[in-house]
């Protein structure tokens, strides 16, 4: 059984995309993650679970994945077929991704990232809850 193909009208697309915003104090739908050759983990806000994000990498390639565990981190020095390799997003690349939901209702999801050098990963929550 296959899923039906749904054609989105421009109006439907526009209603399902959020622009970057902030209230000047604590609320924003943009995250800034500094990366280096040492792997790091960033807790994703719970309101981002199950949402699409736009990711832009600046200054270095990023090797990353989402996980409920912080003990396993991507490693840019690994080669193909290694579970620690992570997905590579090149310096300057912009991609759209999906933040998974945790297996438990109150669980956390982490953005785990390792860089080929010093850089920044910008994450923008692009879809509503």
Pairwise pLDDT comparison (6 vs 91), residue with the higher score: 91
The SS3 call for residue 14 is helix
CA atoms within 13 A on the CB side of 14: 3
> In this structure, is the dihedral angle defined by the CA atoms of residues 95, 101, 106 and 109, taken in order, positive or negative?
negative
pLDDT score of 29: 78
pLDDT score of 19: 59
Digit-coded pLDDT (tens) for 28-70: 778 899 999 999 999 999 989 998 999 999 999 999 999 999 9
**Phi/psi at 62 (nearest 5 deg)?**
-115, 135
pLDDT score of 30: 83
Give me the mean pLDDT over the 5-21 stretch: 55
Domains and CATH numbers, the chain: 28-125 (2.60.120)
Indicate whether 125 pLDDT > 60: yes
Give me the mean pLDDT over the 77-88 stretch: 78
CB 121 within 8 A of CB 74: no
Contacts of residue 36, defined as CB under 8 A and 6 or more positions apart, other chains included, come to: 60, 115, 117, 118, 119
Pairwise pLDDT comparison (91 vs 75), residue with the higher score: 91
């Amino acid at each position: 059984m296959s899923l039906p193909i749904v054609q989105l009208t421009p109006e439907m697309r526009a209603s399902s995309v959020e622009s970057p915003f902030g209230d000047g104090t604590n609320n924003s739908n943009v995250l800034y993650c500094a990366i280096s050759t040492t792997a790091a983990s960033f807790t994703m806000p719970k309101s981002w679970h199950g949402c699409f994000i736009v990711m832009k990498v600046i200054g270095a390639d990023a090797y990353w994945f989402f996980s409920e565990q912080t003990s396993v981190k991507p490693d840019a020095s690994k080669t193909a077929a290694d579970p620690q390799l992570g997905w590579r997003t090149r310096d300057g690349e912009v991609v759209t991704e999906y933040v998974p939901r945790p297996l438990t209702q109150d669980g956390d999801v982490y953005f785990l990232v390792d860089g080929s050098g010093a850089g920044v990963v910008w994450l923008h929550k692009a879809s509503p809850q």
